[in-house]
Amino acid sequence: MVKILVASKNKGKLKEIKEILGDLPITLIPLPESAEEVVENGSTYLENALMKAKTYGQKYKIITLADDSGLEIDILNGLPGIFSSRYLGKDTPFLTKMENILELMKNKDNRKARFRCVSVLYFPKEDRYVSFEGVVEGEILKEIRYGNAGFGYDPIFKPDGFDKSFSELGSEIKNKISHRAQALQKVREYILQNLMGGDMIEIKVNGKRLPANKYVYSVFEKVIFALLDTLKDLPEIETVEIKIDKKKEEETTE
C-alpha cells in the first residue's frame, strides 16, 4: 500500500486532507510532532509548498504531500496572500487577524477575494515533484460568521454562489468547493492514475464514493459483486453503482 507523509501539523488542514483522500487505498502518515518547522520564505505558494514537501520527504525518505494557501483580497492588493498564516505575526490569533482585515475594509465596496491553494507531491527517490492548484472566488463579509467547520479566515469568506461563510457551510460542502478541495481532487486523480496498481473499481452506495483498487481486491472480486447485489435488496440502500476503469498500458516503441 502506498504511504504518503502529510507535511502539516495544522489539525484543520489534516482533517480536510483525510476527509478528501482518506477513502483511497493509501496510508496517510501525519507529520511527527518532533519534526522541525520549515521556514516558509518563498515568494510563491509553490515555492513554500515545495520547501516543505522536499525537506520532509528527504528527511523521512517517503512520498510527501504539502501545500501552501492564502487569502487574496483585491482591495488590499492581494494581501494577506502568501503571508496569510503569518499575517500580523505567526502567533497572532486568527480572530485578531480577521478583525484587522475587516477594519481595513470598513466602508469598502469592492470586497472581492479568493482563496488559492497549491498542493505538491514530492518523490524523494527520484527527486521530482508534481503540483496542483485550486482557486475559489468569493468575497469578504462585513462581519465574522462562525459555523461548525473550517479554520483560519473561513468565518469572513463567502464563496460565490452561497450566502454563508466557509465556516457556516460545513465540511461536507466546503470539501467539495474549496481551494484545497480542488487541489486535492487533482492530487487524488494523480494518485489513482499513477500510483495505484491494476484497474480501479469505483463503488457508489447511495451516491457516496467507496473506491477500491482492483489489484488489491482482485481475489475478492466475486465476493464484492455478490455483496453489492445483496445490498441492492436492502430498503435503506437506494442506489449501488459500479464502475471499472481499465488502467492504460504504457506505449512502447521498438
Query: Taking the chain, what is the end-to-end CA distance rounded to the nearest angstrom?
Result: 33
Q: Which of 23, 67, 68, 233 is catalytic?
A: 68
68 an active-site residue?
yes
pLDDT exceeds 50 at position 97: yes
The predicted pLDDT at position 202 comes to 65
Q: 131: closest CA among 193, 58, 83, 184?
A: 184
Q: What is the mean pLDDT of the chain?
A: 86
The answer to whether the annotation marks 12 as part of a ligand binding site is yes
Lowest mean pLDDT among 57-66, 156-165, 197-206: 197-206
List, as own/partner pairs, every contact residues 81-84 make where C-beta atoms lie below 8 angstroms and the sequence separation is at least 24, other chains included.
82/40, 82/42, 82/43, 82/44, 82/45, 82/48, 84/152, 84/153
pLDDT 10s digits, 76-93:
999 999 999 999 998 999
The answer to whether the annotation marks 90 as part of a ligand binding site is no
The answer to whether the annotation marks 179 as part of a ligand binding site is yes
Lowest mean pLDDT among 68-72, 114-118, 239-243: 239-243
The predicted pLDDT at position 249 comes to 39
pLDDT 10s digits, 130-155:
999 999 999 999 999 999 878 899 99
The answer to whether the annotation marks 218 as part of a ligand binding site is no
The predicted pLDDT at position 250 comes to 35
The answer to whether the annotation marks 10 as part of a ligand binding site is yes
In terms of pLDDT, which residue wins out, 1 or 36?
Answer: 36
- The answer to whether residues 180 and 67 touch, using CB atoms and an 8 Å cutoff, is yes
> What are the structural domains of the chain?
2-194 (3.90.950.10), 200-245 (no CATH)
- The answer to whether residues 55 and 48 touch, using CB atoms and an 8 Å cutoff, is no
User: Which pTM was predicted?
Assistant: 0.77
Q: Which residues contact 205 (CB under 8 A, 6 or more apart)?
A: 231, 237, 239, 240
The predicted pLDDT at position 198 comes to 53
pLDDT 10s digits, 169-221:
988 898 899 999 999 999 998 988 888 765 556 667 677 666 555 544 444 55
pLDDT exceeds 70 at position 242: no
| Percent of the chain with pLDDT strictly greater than 70 | 78
pLDDT exceeds 50 at position 228: yes
The answer to whether the annotation marks 89 as part of a ligand binding site is no
pLDDT 10s digits, 6-43:
999 888 888 889 988 888 888 999 999 999 999 899 99
The answer to whether the annotation marks 34 as part of a ligand binding site is no
The predicted pLDDT at position 15 comes to 87
